[in-house]
Structure 1
Amino acid sequence: MYRLLFSLVLCRFDAESVHHLTVRALTLLARLPYLKKVVHRLMAPHDPALRVSAFGVHFPSPFGLAAGFDKDAACAEALSAIGFGHVEVGTVTAHAQPGNPRPRLFRVATQRAIINRMGFNNRGAAAAAARLRRTRGVPTVVGVNIGKTKVVPEHAAVDDYVTSAKELAPLADYLVVNVSSPNTPGLRNLQAVELLRPLLEAVKQVADATPRRTPLLVKIAPDLADEDIDAVADLALELRLDGIIATNTTIRHPGETGGLSGRPLKTRSVAVLRRLRARVGDRLTLVSVGGVENADDVWERLLAGATLVQGYTGMIYGGPLWAYRLHRDLSRRLVRHGLPSITDVIGRTAP
């Protein structure tokens, strides 16, 4: 039904307009306590066999929604209700900003992909913090992804990230430093270890000082050279970060300027995951994202050493039941393989 709706109706409208309409609908659901609980009861993952723990946080399943969809922490509870095991909100910047000029979001339907050059459009850290302070009506694991405000020069980036961290780290189940979006000028330069070290040290100091010590992860690009991936992995171990998220969107594609996500990213995303696992073993939590479309993809990432897996573009093409169906299929696969827990899958084919 959704595929028919998408091909006949939704694809005829501007991609960003459809996105905003979807966010508004989910925000409305988040404000309806009874309906939200009913939807959560019907669609959220409740199979005990799917539960995982990472960096001291308990997740109802390993599969969640990547950053980029709920930029302002407006509908995390609703997203949890429709089936995501965790929701990563953001990217949030210290100061509100409109992002890049429209159009800035493009479907590549033949490849089940998306190109975006959104530019961290969001209402700022203080506004996101106000939403995250609200009592959660349904169980929701919320990660917060923070990035650099566009107008802030590179030399002031550390202070900019620290401002966001101070607002948001106490309210997050985990915090992510995003230095890998291609849509903020100069941002990816921060992945260089000599620039990344002081940034992560400063944000980690804030995260460690929260009442429960907020776990800290860093998100990297798929376009890094292999030796740079190794360098970031070594730095994450040295600084005792809690994990690495791999990967963000790629700029290595033809067509519109911006970051490409979806099916074409799959091969590189898995390759980066395998390289990270070979480098760090199980000393860090690895979160795999990029080209995840179904339970087969989640299973592959878990076998390769990811503890958590995220998707986003797959929901655009799979619809509102996407996460529910994916978790149903994961549960069935565990039964078929005679495995008592999804944790028995993690790292089985890792080097």
Structure 2
Amino acid sequence: MINYEMIKPLLFKLEPENAHHLAEYFLRMPNICPNLFNGFLNDHFITSPVLQQKVFGIDFLNPIGLGAGFDKNATMIRGIQALGFGFTEIGTLTPKPQPGNPKPRMFRHIEEESLQNAMGFNNDGLLKAQKRLQQRYPFSTPIGINIGKNKTTSERDAISDYTTLIKALHELGDYIVINISSPNTPGLRDLQNEEFITSLFAEAKELTNKPILLKIAPDMSEAQAVDLTSLAVEKGADGIIATNTTIDYSLVKEPKDIGGLSGAVLKQKSFEIFDAVAKELFGKTTLISVGGIDSAEEAYRRIKAGASLVQIYSGLVFHGPDMIRDINLELINLIQADKYTNITQAIGADRK
């Protein structure tokens, strides 16, 4: 319905953040024009008995989700479903609204099909997001809520930010994600430690029965990642999302000195951390893989390594709105080529 390769050069003439705002404008249109939503949904949303599964007791019609950071403020949920995503993760949300870091703060590395962002949890804050979710939830595909602390909140008081968000939002989403792995909030990654995780999950599990997941960074050793995620699961985490963006600037030719890299250059680093975690935790908790996934083959590699679900963000920028449909169609073929009748048989196949 849209020849993305024709319009991509025009979009790439815009500053990346402006292009994102333009995309948001169009993805909010289904809220106003349902017929537009229905036509695109019928063409792009792929489901099949091969792809359907229950995760956390929730129906997922396909395993391809939109990663956090795209729909920061829960304004595009209908439009995102029309692109073909089987679930979406909104946020990162903070208790108070915040503008994020100074601009420019998002950059394209076109040759490497990668993005570098230093957004800094810019979002409308808890109250506005809560109101929007109240208008939408429950939705026809699952919604995850990614939460973080405000920049001005000290490390000492960080748990309060997370518990405030959980109290207010847990009934308006299907799962919660603890984000302590973004590189764009000073001190945030310092919270990836035993004391904080132990205290946070002790409090969080008292507040909700909804699944609570931990999202980790790729910039640690495999042993550190395994220790951190094993601890989180021991303390009550219902799943692990691996990974966030990387600050390994050697991966691109002309890096900026701020922010985190996502997209194709993150693919192998993200997979290696995910694979190490999956070796330890597959079968013990739910695993979601994100980072550099841009094809059905890569999605299937993560699934066979132990991912029940996968997430995409940067690939959408470089490959366009047909990408999710095409991945899901090819994923069906890959699963069936391995003589499986359902995706659950393929999950963790390389671990068995």
Provide the residue aligned with 1:337 in structure 2.
338
Distance 1:32 1:131 in 2: 17
Between the two proteins, the alignment pairs up a number of residues equal to: 345
In the alignment, residue 34 of structure 1 is paired with which amino acid? N
Identical-pair percentage: 39
Provide the residue aligned with 2:349 in structure 1.
348
C-alpha deviations, 1:4-53, integer Å up to 9, x for none?
A: 321x3111110000001101110122332333233223211221210122
**CA contact under 8 A between 1:315 and 1:322: conserved in structure 2?**
yes
1:236 deviates by 2.2
Distance 1:178 1:237 in 2: 15
**CA contact under 8 A between 2:147 and 2:177: conserved in structure 1?**
yes
SS across alignment from 2:65:
strand
Distance 2:168 2:174 in 1: 13
**CA contact under 8 A between 2:201 and 2:236: conserved in structure 1?**
no
Distance 2:236 2:204 in 1: 12
**CA contact under 8 A between 2:138 and 2:173: conserved in structure 1?**
no
Distance 1:13 1:346 in 2: 40
C-alpha deviations, 1:199-218, integer Å up to 9, x for none?
A: 222222222xxxxx211100
Q: Residue 335 and residue 131 in structure 1: after superposition, are their counterparts in 2 closer, same or farther (change >3 A)?
A: same
Q: Residue 179 and residue 137 in structure 1: after superposition, are their counterparts in 2 closer, same or farther (change >3 A)?
A: closer
Distance 1:133 1:295 in 2: 34
Distance 2:231 2:54 in 1: 23
Provide the residue aligned with 1:143 in structure 2.
144
SS across alignment from 1:42:
helix
In the alignment, residue 299 of structure 1 is paired with which amino acid? Y
1:137 deviates by 9.3
C-alpha deviations, 1:71-115, integer Å up to 9, x for none?
A: 001011210122001100000001100000110000001111000
Which of residues 2, 10, 24 in structure 1 aligns to 2:4?
2
Distance 1:182 1:137 in 2: 32
Provide the residue aligned with 1:244 in structure 2.
240
Superposed CA RMSD: 1.5
Distance 1:146 1:31 in 2: 28
Q: Residue 138 and residue 243 in structure 1: after superposition, are their counterparts in 2 closer, same or farther (change >3 A)?
A: closer
Q: Residue 193 and residue 63 in structure 1: after superposition, are their counterparts in 2 closer, same or farther (change >3 A)?
A: same
C-alpha deviations, 1:180-220, integer Å up to 9, x for none?
A: 0000000000001122221222222222xxxxx21110000
| More divergent stretch after superposition (145-154 vs 31-40) | 31-40
Provide the residue aligned with 2:322 in structure 1.
321
Distance 2:136 2:242 in 1: 31
Runs of 4+ in structure 1 off by over 6 angstroms are none
| More divergent stretch after superposition (12-21 vs 278-287) | 278-287
1:279 deviates by 1.3
Q: Tell me, which stretches of 5 or more residues in structure 2 are unaligned?
A: none
SS across alignment from 2:135:
coil
SS across alignment from 2:28:
helix
**CA contact under 8 A between 1:133 and 1:171: conserved in structure 2?**
yes
Provide the residue aligned with 1:217 in structure 2.
213
Q: Tell me, which stretches of 5 or more residues in structure 1 are unaligned?
A: 208-212
SS across alignment from 2:12:
helix
C-alpha deviations, 1:233-252, integer Å up to 9, x for none?
A: 22122123210000000001
| More divergent stretch after superposition (178-187 vs 189-198) | 189-198
Distance 2:236 2:100 in 1: 33
| More divergent stretch after superposition (308-317 vs 41-50) | 41-50
Counterpart check, 1:63 vs 2:64: yes
Distance 1:144 1:5 in 2: 31
Provide the residue aligned with 1:306 in structure 2.
307
TM-score, normalised to structure 2, is 0.94
1:132 deviates by 0.7
Provide the residue aligned with 1:233 in structure 2.
229
C-alpha deviations, 1:160-195, integer Å up to 9, x for none?
A: 111111111110110000000000000000001122
Distance 1:22 1:30 in 2: 14
Distance 1:190 1:135 in 2: 32
Counterpart mapping for 1:123-142 below 5 A: 123-135=124-136, 139-142=140-143
**CA contact under 8 A between 2:83 and 2:322: conserved in structure 1?**
yes
| More divergent stretch after superposition (115-124 vs 29-38) | 29-38
Distance 2:138 2:280 in 1: 40
C-alpha deviations, 1:251-289, integer Å up to 9, x for none?
A: 011421110001111111111111111111211101000
